[in-house]
Structure 1
C-alpha cells in the first residue's frame, strides 16, 4: 500500500513516516507545500532508517502529487491548514482513497493547552466536509506523542482511537495502525464522536507539562 503523509516534514508526519517505513513494507511518500523541503526530509528519513540497517526508499513530493499517488493520505498538517490542504488536492482523490486526520485544534494560555474545536465540531469533521463526498475520512493518531513516535528506540505501548463512518476505510486504517509495533487501534464510533477523542490531546500535553514522569504521555485502555 502507498501512504502519503501530507505535511510529512512536521513532527507527527515524521513519526508516522519512520514507524511505517521501519515496521512495514508499505511505500511511504512525504508531502509538503514545498516539494524541495519534502525531498530533503525524505532523504533524512532514509538516512535514519539506514543507520538502523533498514534499506528503504522514501520519496518527497508537493502535497498534491503525493496525494495523487497514494492509497491512504494522512493530513499531518496543523489544524488551521486542514481545509485548504484537502481542497488543494481534492481533485486528485478518488473513491478508493482513504483520508486520515490526526490534527487537533488547541489554544495555549499560561495554564496550558485547551481544546479549541472548529465550528464543525472537530478537525476530523472539517476534513470530512472538505473532502469529496465519495472519499472516506477516518480520524486517527490524535493522542500520540510525536516525539515518542519519532524515536525508534522507544516502545510505544499505546492505543490510538479511530473514528469513521465508512467501515471499510476504518478497517484499512486499523490495519495500518496495528502494523506499527506497540500501537493498538480501537474503534470509537463515527466521525460525530471525534471531538471527544481530539479533546484528550491537550489533557495529555498538560499532564506532561505538570508531571515530569509523564513526558510523552499517551493513552492505554484496559
Structure 2
C-alpha cells in the first residue's frame, strides 16, 4: 500500500513517516508544496532509519503527485492549510483513495490552548465538505504528541481515535494505525463525533504544559 503524507516535512508528518517506514512494509510518499523540500526530508528520514538498520521505502514529491500515487492520503498539515491543500489535490483523489486528517483547530493564550473548530463543527468535517464527493474521509492521529511520535527511542503505548462515515475506509485506517508499534486504534463512530475527538488535543497539550513529567502526554483508554 502507498501512504502519502502531505505536508510530510512537518512534525506530525515526520513522526508518521518514521513510524510507518520502520514498523510496516508500506511505501511512504512525502508530499510538500515544494518537491525539493520533500526530497530533502526523505534524505533526512532515510539517514535516521539507516542508523537503526532500517532500509526505508520513502520517496518525495509535490503534494499533488504524492496524492495521485497513493492509496491513503494523510493531511499532515496545520489546520489553516487543510482546506487549501484539499483543493490543491482534489483532482488527484478518487473513490479508491482514503483521505485522512489529524488536524485540530486551536487558539492559544497565556493560559494554554483552547479548542477552536471551524464553522463546520470540526476540521475533519471541513475536510469531508471540501473533498470530492466519492472520496471517503477518516479522522485519525489527532491526539498524538508529535515529539514522541518522531522520537523512535520513545515506546508508544497510546490510543488514536477514529471517526468516519465509511466503515470500509475506517477499517483500512484502523489496520494501518495498529501496524505502528504501541498504537491502538479505537472506533468513535461517524464524522459527526469528530469535534469530541479533536477537542482532546488541546486538553493533552495543556496537561503537558502544566506537568513537567508529562511532556509527551497522550491518551490510553482502559
Structure 1 partner of 2:135:
135
Equivalent residues in 2 for 1:53-68 (5 A)?
A: 53-68=53-68
**1:199 Cα offset (Å):** 0.4
Report the count of equivalent residues.
222
**1:91 Cα offset (Å):** 0.8
Report the TM-score, using the length of structure 2 for normalisation.
0.99
RMSD of aligned residue pairs (Cα, Å): 0.5
Q: Distance in 2 between matches of 1:213 and 1:92?
A: 44
Structure 2 partner of 1:198:
198
Is the contact made by 2:4 and 2:70 (CA closer than 8 Å) also made in structure 1?
Answer: yes
SS at match of 1:3: strand
Deviations 1:173-219 (A, max 9, x none): 00000000000000000000000010000010000000011111000
Report the TM-score, using the length of structure 1 for normalisation.
0.99
SS at match of 1:118: coil
Structure 1 partner of 2:80:
80
Q: Distance in 2 between matches of 1:94 and 1:125?
A: 18
Unaligned runs of 5+ in 1: none
Q: Distance in 2 between matches of 1:89 and 1:154?
A: 33
**1:94 Cα offset (Å):** 1.0
Is the contact made by 2:103 and 2:124 (CA closer than 8 Å) also made in structure 1?
Answer: yes
Alignment of 1:110 onto 2:117: no
Deviations 1:153-192 (A, max 9, x none): 1111000000000000000000000000000000000000
Q: Distance in 2 between matches of 1:120 and 1:215?
A: 31
SS at match of 2:213: helix
Of 48-57 and 23-32, the range deviating more from structure 2:
48-57
Unaligned runs of 5+ in 2: none
